[in-house]
Amino acid sequence: MTLWPDIADAEDFIRWRSAPHLWLPAVIRIAERENIDAVSPCSFETGTNLVVDLNGHAILKVFPPIYAAQYAVERFALRLLDGRLSLPIPRILAEGEDSGWSWLIITKLPGTVGSKVWPALSEGDRISILGDIGRVIAEVQAVDPKELLTMQPARPDFIRQQAAGCIKRHRRQGLSEPLLAELPALISAVPSVLPTDVQPVILTGEWIPENLLLTETPDGWRLSAVTDFGDVMTGWREYDLLGPSTFMCAGVPDRLRAFPDGYGVHAADYDHAMRRRLTTLMMLHRASDLRHVAISDWQSRVTGFQDLEDLIWPRTL
């Protein structure tokens, strides 16, 4: 049996990734090659690539040929950001390629995946964590992107690509007809809403609880590590404000004050123009799916994008 099957598309890979008897021989071979113990390897259910906890101390990420660009980007980003942030990120222990497939073995960081505890946290802990997230995003964006600038589509190309598929994507996801009816106008306004002459910064696009590790301290729960850099790209800095503000702030004014304050946004900068930029970027985001907006029953309270914008980013905080 070959270690590396031919993978034609994402569905092929999902089928392979979902069958441990298919990927386990490759995982064991990689661990042996790198002289790393693989004690009862266990895969994570979420994520694009195959992610396996080898032994409680090391994580293996396997990238099929169709996701080779993610391997290159994550490998470069982890090295670029190593030691540059106030919080730990995974450190590369080993790397390799074979038959178009590639892998990274990285350190497993202590902490609890944010999605497991966020719903039960006190409001004070949520506000503190959102401030932490804002500060770390700013730290990432302060690092010179270097070669990352050439490893992903240039920002104008990315925006055009996302705009071209925006309506089809949101219709497939079941966006309501009133919002779908307004979407062409929102897309047409992109050139006047989003700035074009900007200094690109490092973006992860994935500041969501699933990619954050939290730790309980004597002062409450705090952000302790950031884990996923496979979707790193460069672009307009506000793009990375979407995950926390859409999926964690839930339109709560105190959270929306703490998060941008940690990031460094002054109160005077939180205006109609910024709110409309965020709404536009939310619809263009490559992982955009409004079914996951963290506001209960928001669909029944919205008849258009202005209503949605006012729910997620209230006019006054």
- With beta carbons less than 8 A apart as the criterion, state whether 166 and 280 touch: no
pLDDT beyond 60 at 277: yes
In what helix (H) or strand (E) does residue 43 lie, and over which residues does it extend? strand 42-43
AA letter at 187: I
Give per-residue pLDDT as tens, 85-130: 999 999 999 999 999 999 999 999 999 999 999 999 999 999 999 9
pLDDT beyond 70 at 10: yes
pLDDT beyond 60 at 1: no
Six token digits for residue 54: 């080898």
Mean pLDDT of 62-87: 96
Q: Helix, strand, coil % (nearest 5) of the chain?
A: 50, 15, 35
Angle (CA) 234 237 238, round 5°? 130
pLDDT beyond 90 at 265: yes
Using the 8-state DSSP alphabet, how is residue 110 labeled? P
Q: Give the per-residue pLDDT at 257.
A: 94
Q: Is 251 left (phi over 0), alpha (psi -120 to 50) or beta?
A: left
pLDDT-wise least confident of 33-42, 70-79, 146-155, 191-200? 146-155
Q: Could you give the 3-state DSSP secondary structure of residue 203?
A: strand
pLDDT > 70: percent of the chain: 99
CA distance 214 to 110: 9
Q: Give the per-residue pLDDT at 47.
A: 81
pLDDT > 90: percent of the chain: 88
Query: Across-strand partners of 42?
Result: 53
311-315: list long-range contacts, CB under 8 Å, 24+ apart: 311/251, 312/245, 312/246, 312/249, 312/251, 312/278, 312/279, 312/282, 313/245, 313/251, 313/256, 313/275, 313/278, 313/279, 314/251, 314/253, 314/256, 315/272, 315/275
Q: Give the per-residue pLDDT at 188.
A: 96
Q: What is the mean pLDDT of the chain?
A: 94
- With beta carbons less than 8 A apart as the criterion, state whether 292 and 209 touch: no
Give per-residue pLDDT as tens, 188-211: 999 999 998 889 999 998 899 999
- With beta carbons less than 8 A apart as the criterion, state whether 249 and 255 touch: yes
Which candidate, 28, 27, 30, 22, places its Cα nearest to that of 5?
Answer: 22
pLDDT beyond 60 at 231: yes
What are the chain's domains?
10-107 (3.30.200.20), 112-312 (3.90.1200.10)
Give per-residue pLDDT as tens, 121-174: 999 999 999 999 999 999 999 999 999 999 877 778 889 999 999 999 999 999
Q: Is 194 left (phi over 0), alpha (psi -120 to 50) or beta?
A: beta
Q: Could you give the 3-state DSSP secondary structure of residue 85?
A: coil
AA letter at 88: P
Q: Could you give the 3-state DSSP secondary structure of residue 16?
A: helix
Mean pLDDT of 8-28: 95
